[in-house]
Amino acid sequence: MGAKTDQAKGKVKEAVGTLTGDKDLESEGKADRLTGEAKEKLDDVKNKAEEVVDKAKDKVDEAIDKTKGALHRK
Q: What is the pLDDT of residues 20-72, one digit of tens each?
A: 999 999 999 999 999 999 999 999 999 999 999 999 999 999 999 989 888 88
13-34 CB burial, b ≥16 within 10 A, e <16: bbeebeeeeeeebbebbeebbe
Single out the residue of 16, 48, 43, 10 nearest to residue 29, CA to CA.
Answer: 10
Contact 44, 36 (CB under 8 A): no
Rounded CA separation 68/74 (Å): 10
Angle between helices 3-20 and 23-73 (to 10 degrees): 160
Grade residue 74 by pLDDT with cuts at 50, 70 and 90.
low
